[in-house]
Every structure is written in structure tokens, then in C-alpha cells.
Amino acid sequence: MELEAVIGDITREHVDAIVNAANSSLMGGGGVDGAIHRAAGPGLLEECMELRRTELPDGLPAGRAVPTAGHDLPADWVIHTVGPNARRGETDPAVLASCFASSLDVAAEVGAATVAFPAVSAGVFGWAMDDVASIGVEAVRAWRPPEGGSGVEKVRFVLAGEEGLTAFTRALG
């Protein structure tokens, strides 16, 4: 699998799937989550509301992932994952690693060969960018497609600025 890190706007990525650093409600929020909801249009919120009514009445737990359509985005899919919130004492690296691995599992299930990730749990969730980069890159490198699933061929870490790019470039070695 090819891995790369770039500075950019994840809502403009021409990939099969983008990963949303969501909150458990799936109803949008700030940062990457809010930007994705705004760019995808009202259909994304409607689909998320349906998930909450049916499959996820208590919300999406940290470390898990769920797909929706991309709606008005260039990507066909949005894969929502909830990272651990360090500001609330959620500091287990295994939960953060699970965000990346679970998102790739979902990508394989929907047939996405190219996936763009943000720095899940950095920013408002309080994780240090270097930790997110090292845990995220390690989880992606360790990931294997589920039995019978298609493989993800390319992962692009799309970062908002130089701090993220530096951390992910270092983690990519």
C-alpha cells in the first residue's frame, strides 16, 4: 500500500473515500467534521440521522467506523470514525489505532482503493500531533484487508498545516 502525507483540504480530495474525524452523534461539529458536513450538503446529515435512528441509536463509539455516501463531495464515500478525546482522559493508543484500522476495514468493505485521512484526535480532541502521526501510520502499515475484502491501494494523510505534515512525514520515515 502506498502512503503519503500532504497539506490540503480533505473535502476536495479526489479519492474513493475520505475519513471524517466525527463526534459520536454523527451530526456534524467543528473542525474536519463540520467542514465535511458543510461540503457534502444536507444529504450527509440526513443519512447520519437515519443511522442514529436505526443502527446507532446511542451514537458511534470511539474506535469504530461507519460509512455513508459522499453526497456533494468528490469522494464516493465518507467513513466516519470517532477518535478518543484526550481532554476527557481518553488516552488509550489502541483506541486511536482502531480508528485507523476500522476505517480501512470499512473502506475495503465498500471497495474503496484510495482513502484520505485527517489527523484523527489531534486538534480539539487534544492528542499531540506526533502521537497521532506515529499511531496512525503504524496502524495503517499493520492493517490487512478482511477475508474476502478488497485491498486499499493508497492512503493519503491530508493535514491542515506544517505541524501535521512534519509529524506525519517523520512517522512515514
What is the identity of the amino acid at 5?
Answer: A
Buried b (16+ CB within 10 A) or exposed e, 109-135: beebebbbbbbbbbbebbbebbbbbbb
Q: Of these residues, 33, 58, 72, 92, which one is catalytic?
A: 33
Architecture of domain 2-172: 3-Layer(aba) Sandwich (3.40)
pLDDT per position in the chain (173 positions), as tens?
Answer: 999 999 999 999 999 999 999 999 999 988 999 999 999 999 999 999 999 999 999 999 999 999 999 999 999 999 999 999 999 999 999 999 999 999 999 999 999 999 999 999 998 899 999 999 999 999 999 999 877 667 899 999 999 999 999 999 999 99
Q: Where are the domains of the chain?
A: 2-172
- 33 is a catalytic site residue: yes
Q: Which one, of 81, 87, 117, lies nearest residue 99 by Cα?
A: 81
Give the C-alpha separation, 113 to 107, whole Å. 7
Give the C-alpha separation, 38 to 28, whole Å. 9
